[in-house]
Amino acid sequence: MHHGEEHNCCGNKKHGHEEAAHSCGCSLEKKEAKSCCCSGGHNKKVETCCGGGKKLLSEGKILWISFFALVASFLIGEFVQPAGVLRLLDFAWIAIILCGLPIAQSAWKALRDERKVNSPMLITVAMIATICLEAVFVFTGSHEGGHGHSYLFAAGEIAFLMALGEFLEERTVAKSRAGIERLVSLAPKRAERKAPDGAFEEIDAKDIKVGDTLLVRPNTIIPTDGRIVSGATSVNQANMTGESVPIDKAVGDEVLGGTMNESGAIEVEALRPESQSALAKLIELVEEAEGKKAPIARIANRWASYIVPAAITLSIVVFFFARFVLDTTTTDSFVRAVTILVVFCPCAFVLATPTAIAAGLGNVSKRGILVKSGGALEELAKVDAVVFDKTGTLTTGEIAVSSFETDGMDGDEMLSLAASAEAFSEHPIAKAVTGFAQRKNLEAAKAENVKSLVGTGVECDVGAHKVKVARASVFEAEIAYSEKLKKYYDGEKSKTVVGVEIDGKLSGLISLSDTIREEAKPAISALKEKGYFTAMLTGDNGGAAAGVAEKVGLDKVYHSLMPEGKLAKIAELEGEGKTVCMVGDGVNDAPALASANCSIAMAALGNDVAIETADVAMMTDDLRKIPSLLRFAKQIIFTIKSNMLLSLAISFAAIALSAYGYLDPVLGALVHNASSVLVVTNSARLLKTRWK
């Protein structure tokens, strides 16, 4: 994992988290790359796609062989105790070669290609120094204050423990990629396409073209994004949107590739090729996010670049301190200096950030949220002000009847006649009126002589009545004659109001407004409980904006804003020292999303502009996920900082113990790997963190 090899066929892109871990470099050479991009597959061998040399032994076999070699070395040293040159014929060489050689190769590669002295160099110097100690003993016969067994055993054990610790780290970190592997496994390899003769033929999913009609059988995965043209079913979208309840779908409804068709067989018209489906985009975004470093990661890498030369310098200082201040033997002083090199490796420190970021991204992706980079996570953790767009964000964007008033006519009769007049119109207001009447179980009679009034409304005959439905401004003169309707109209001017005229007399007014999302009020309430400032940026008039803000409980409303006005308000809030998160649907608020410190686009999977602009893309429009996301981002950053402090504390404690002889190279290797595993395990907890 830590080698971060670059492959020419992959466009010189590093795979997965290898870049972040390259500065540690304690790992074995890999037999396989879990996600090699060159072939398009996800389980191709590195040597196949990248031309690397074929590995004869797997990672596990190398560890087992090295372990038994070290056991043999220990037993021979304990019971046989060879003398002279025979001491150099030690089974520990097997562990040194199998586990230590890859570390040395990594150190040499960094020195040769990048002119960098890195952590593998420290381990390599420590192993060479330990081997030299054994050579000094063999050829001089002195073993001052030395090791009970061969120093080759110590060198082999250092290499083995480094490799074992790396193996355990990789196993833990691999869980953070489980989200991507799960998404990849959702991508179907085959699909059934309708042929010109009406029969269905099986094809590769990658051969799907826009406009193809695909058969999706029950309990199978939908191969690409499409629209149902035949049949009805329930679709489980949990793996894409985080919704736990299957959604009923019928003719005309869109379905997402990678979701599960649970009940009925359906025919789907492909809207995108498989390579451009929502699932493919989701995988691409998550992998892109994993490759982007958080600013806090740069701190770790910068410190690591200082730690390596500092460790070498400190090792020399400890040698002279032990020899001349503590008055130890030359050999013992040398052992302490070597131990410093082992314990001072910044592996745990370097792993502190990428492991936490990877685990955090894995957790949020399971909930239908895509955070596009570690930097975005860090900005989310700093947020103290959350501003929302109105239409399509706090509201559904769908107009609905909010209230009505009549004068001299029964309300249900007025609504029934209005619905009859609007029955054949596709206008959003007409749909809202007819839908409201249907929910009240009012029957709409057949309208005749329907005449569209361009820009104002519609008039028709319904039975014996002549009905006209038009915007209220058409009837303002008549409204003034009715005290009841005038009072209602004056109170509803912030909304869309239509009048209903029956047989030449204004009989009632119907008020319509955008529908507030059910999740909006609890989401805003949760944010305010945690001390976040909340506001709305909208182009709507003050009355409409204030009505929505009051119902959901926002702190502040900025209304009648053009796009440039929204940018100015965000800049104003940032100028007040606030870290602003903008939440929108990405349709008309893309500039505001781009200008805020960080931004969240809701229901963004089908909106390329939103995905490109926002830092976070939510697959659903559930606002209640936003407070949980902000809390979790803070938890991720706290985990990173605690990882750093933990790794540094262990390193400095181990340095002091090594200087005074309480740790030797073998115990130092154990401490080193224990700190790395501890850091990775601490990060892995983020994978299982439950959201409130």
Distance CA 28, CA 40 (A): 25
- pLDDT, tens only, 84-131: 777 788 898 999 999 989 988 988 888 888 777 666 777 788 788 888
- pLDDT, tens only, 245-281: 577 788 988 888 878 888 788 999 999 887 777 677 6
Q: CA-CA distances (angstroms) from residue 527 to 348, 360, 630?
A: 35, 21, 9
From the candidates 225, 389, 407, 589, give the one annotated as an active-site residue.
389
Q: Identify the bridge partners of residue 214 per DSSP, sorted by sequence position.
A: 193, 268
Amino acid at 125: V
Provide the 10 A C-beta neighbour count for residue 207. 12
Q: Please give the DSSP secondary-structure letter assigned to residue 596.
A: S
Single out the residue of 631, 640, 602, 614 nearest to residue 690, CA to CA. Answer: 631
Single out the residue of 456, 461, 473, 411 nearest to residue 436, CA to CA. Answer: 411
Q: Which two tokens stand for residue 649?
A: 């504390």
> pLDDT class for 434, splitting at 50, 70, 90?
very high
Q: Please give the DSSP secondary-structure letter assigned to residue 464.
A: T
Residue with tokens 């451009």: 276
Please name the residues in contact with 224: beta carbons below 8 A apart, sequence gap of 6 or more.
Answer: 191, 205, 208, 214, 257, 270, 271, 272, 273, 274, 277
Pick 470 or 514 by higher pLDDT: 470
Q: What is the pLDDT of residue 32?
A: 36
Compute the average pLDDT of residues 494-522.
90
Asked whether 506 and 475 are in contact (CB, 8 A), the reply is: yes
Residue with tokens 């915007």: 471
Q: CA-CA distances (angstroms) from residue 55 to 47, 166, 316?
A: 8, 18, 38
Average pLDDT, the chain: 79
Which CATH number is correct for 360-395+517-632, 3.30.390.50, 3.30.1490.20, 3.40.50.620, 3.40.50.1000? 3.40.50.1000
- pLDDT, tens only, 623-643: 999 999 999 999 999 999 999
Share of the chain above pLDDT 70, in %: 79
Respond yes or no: is residue 389 known to be catalytic: yes
Which CATH number is correct for 396-516, 3.40.50.2300, 3.20.10.10, 3.90.280.10, 3.40.1110.10? 3.40.1110.10
Say whether domain 209-272 belongs to CATH 3.40.50.2300.
no
Q: Please give the DSSP secondary-structure letter assigned to residue 446.
A: P
Range of 472-481, 523-532, 580-589 with top mean pLDDT: 523-532
Provide the 10 A C-beta neighbour count for residue 426. 7
pTM of the predicted model over 0.75: no
Q: Domain map of the chain by residue range?
A: 8-179+287-359+639-687, 209-272, 360-395+517-632, 396-516
SS (H, E, C) 372-423: CCHHHHHHHHHCCEEEEEHHHHHEEEEEEEEEEEECCCCHHHHHHHHHHHHC
